[in-house]
Amino acid sequence: MRPEFALHQWLARRIAIDRRALAAFRVALGLCLLADIALRWSDLGAFYTDSGVLPRSTLTELYPVLGDMSPLAVSGAAWLPLVALGLTALAGVALVVGYRPRLSAGIAFILLVSIQLRNPVVLNAGDTLLRRLLFWSLLLPLGCGWDDELPESATRVATAGTAGILLQVLAVYVTNSLIKFRGTYWHRGTAVRYVFQLDHLTVRAGDVVAGWDPALVLGNWLWLGLLVGSPLLLIWTGRYRTGLVVAFVTAHICIALSFLLGVFPLVSILGLVLFFPPSFWDALADRWPTAIEALRPRWPESATGPPQAWFPTTTQSLAVLGIVAIVLLNAVAVGFVAAPTGTPDRIEDRSWNMFAPDPPQETWWYAAPAPLESGNRVDALTGETVNLSRPPEVSDRFPNQRWKKFLGTARHEPSLRRSLATYLCSRWNQSHDDTMERVELIFLTESTNLSGPESVDREQLGSYQCA
pLDDT digits (tens, 9 = 90+) for 108-120: 999 999 999 999 9
pLDDT of residue 4: 66
Phi, psi of 395 (to 5 degrees): -60, -25
**Interval 364-385 mean pLDDT:** 95
pLDDT in tens, 59-105: 999 998 877 888 999 999 999 999 999 999 999 999 999 999 999 99
Burial 343-365 (b: 16+ CB within 10 A, else e): eeeebeeebbbbbbbbbbeebbb
Q: d(Cα 297, Cα 316) in Å, to the nearest integer? A: 23
Does the pTM surpass 0.95? The reply is no
Q: d(Cα 210, Cα 231) in Å, to the nearest integer? A: 30
pLDDT in tens, 253-293: 999 999 999 999 999 999 999 999 999 999 999 999 998 88
Whether the pLDDT of residue 177 is over 90: the answer is yes
Nearest to 95, CA basis, from 1, 167, 23, 199:
23
pLDDT of residue 57: 95
146 pLDDT band (50/70/90 cuts)? confident
Q: Which conformational region is residue 117 in: left (phi greater than 0), alpha (psi within -120 to 50 degrees), or beta?
A: alpha
Pairing type for strands 369-371 and 377-379 reads: antiparallel
DSSP character string of 375-411? S-EEETTTSS----SPPSSGGGGSSSHHHHHHHHHHT
